[in-house]
Amino acid sequence: MATNILKPQTQAIPITPPPEVSAEAPTVSFLSSTSTTASVDLDAKAPFHAIQSLFDHLNAHPEDISKLNATYPRRGVIKTAALHKTESDHRPLTNPTQYVPTILSSVSILAGVDLSTAHSSYNMNYRLCDYNPYTAAPESSNGCGEHTDYGTFSIIFQDGTSGLEIEETPGVWVPVPGDAIVVLAGWCAVILSGGRVAAARHRVRRTPGVRRLSAVLFVAPDLEVKLKPLGESQPAKAFSETIMNGELDVETFKDVMGKRWRYREGNEEIENGKSLSQDNEIENMVWG
């Protein structure tokens, strides 16, 4: 395993916010040579003291978890997979942040196309994760296996505990500093950019006995958007006919990914679940 710590590349890129955004623009520093991963100096912080209190309460009062689930019936926003599976987290939903437009601008620069038109409704989910050695199954690695996210990008807030790793080149994993706020590109960015942006593969590895909290804001295009390369230029990679014909919308893509995720965490069985990984299934849909 690589022991390097990801450091920002030499150039930090100040991003100009869109005119309607009054917040001071954050500085985005790319962490990988492939520009799929960046750290960002946001003023926003995840309220980890409150997040820990919330999880402590839910762990002590599991009956309240089912109440939360009932609050958001379409998506399981908090679950007890940690009690049964080797990978675990808990997920309530809270408010989105105000920094998304400026980060979307920076991803648009990388993509070479204006992504804002596909993101008019702010399709976002905020997920809180508790990698907790006391609620994880005894045989659990209490981490999160390698994968790529489905949306345009994910912003990961961390409580200072290390564990997040990025695949810098195939098979080479490097740890991200535990206090960095990290932006990871996802599959919708890959498609909309015509393959000019790559999805950042990542995973969470845990130290036995150490608890890690994170808060992740997932940003995706509007649900009705057809996922195909934007703009007039020739895609940098060959996409499937489904993609080029505009036959895959964001909502369908999200459902496929969600199904995979629930399978991973033991909430749902799917046919041929073991024969195909989540990333393989997406690649089959996306590439020509």
Measured distance CA(155)–CA(164) in Å, rounded: 13
Beta carbon nearer to Fe ion, 97 or 154? 154
Q: Considering the complex, what minimum distance in angstroms separates the CB of residue 200 from Fe ion?
A: 9
Who's near 55: CB < 8 A, 6+ residues apart? Answer: 90, 128, 130, 132, 213
The interface with Fe ion within residues 187-226 (CB under 5 A) comprises: none
Q: Considering the complex, what minimum distance in angstroms separates the CB of residue 91 from Fe ion?
A: 12
- Comparing C-alpha atoms, which of 220, 216, 68 is closest to residue 155? 216
Tokens representing residue 140 in the block: 């659990």
23 and 17 Cβ atoms separated by less than 8 Å: yes
221 and 123 Cβ atoms separated by less than 8 Å: yes
Beta carbon nearer to Fe ion, 92 or 229? 92
> By rule CB under 5 A, what count of residues binds Fe ion?
1
From the list 6-14, 125-133, 141-149, 206-214, the region that binds Fe ion by CB under 5 A is 141-149
Q: Considering the complex, what minimum distance in angstroms separates the CB of residue 10 from Fe ion?
A: 27
Q: Considering the complex, what minimum distance in angstroms separates the CB of residue 215 from Fe ion?
A: 13
165 binds Fe ion (CB under 5 A): no
- Comparing C-alpha atoms, which of 153, 203, 151, 150 is closest to residue 176? 203
Measured distance CA(278)–CA(10) in Å, rounded: 34
Beta carbon nearer to Fe ion, 196 or 202? 202
Q: Considering the complex, what minimum distance in angstroms separates the CB of residue 152 from Fe ion?
A: 13
Give 150-169 as a DSSP string.
Answer: SSSEEEEEE-S---EEEEEE
Map tokens 């009054």 to a residue. 22
Q: Considering the complex, what minimum distance in angstroms separates the CB of residue 149 from Fe ion?
A: 4
Beta carbon nearer to Fe ion, 55 or 153? 153
Beta carbon nearer to Fe ion, 182 or 227? 182
From the list 147-155, 157-165, 206-214, 247-255, the region that binds Fe ion by CB under 5 A is 147-155
Measured distance CA(112)–CA(107) in Å, rounded: 9
Beta carbon nearer to Fe ion, 163 or 229? 163
Beta carbon nearer to Fe ion, 149 or 281? 149
**Of the residues 87, 89, 149, 281, which one makes contact with Fe ion according to CB under 5 A:** 149
Measured distance CA(216)–CA(31) in Å, rounded: 18
Beta carbon nearer to Fe ion, 196 or 264? 264
Q: Considering the complex, what minimum distance in angstroms separates the CB of residue 147 from Fe ion?
A: 6
Tokens representing residue 174 in the block: 């490097």
- Where helices occur in the chain by DSSP H, the ranges are 48-60, 62-71, 100-111, 187-192, 241-244, 250-264, 278-286
Q: Considering the complex, what minimum distance in angstroms separates the CB of residue 144 from Fe ion?
A: 7
Instruction: Return the residue nearest Fe ion (CB atom).
Output: 149
Q: How many CB atoms lie within 10 A of CB 140?
A: 19
From the list 45-53, 81-89, 149-157, 233-241, the region that binds Fe ion by CB under 5 A is 149-157
Q: Which residues of this protein are in contact with Fe ion, per CB under 5 A?
A: 149
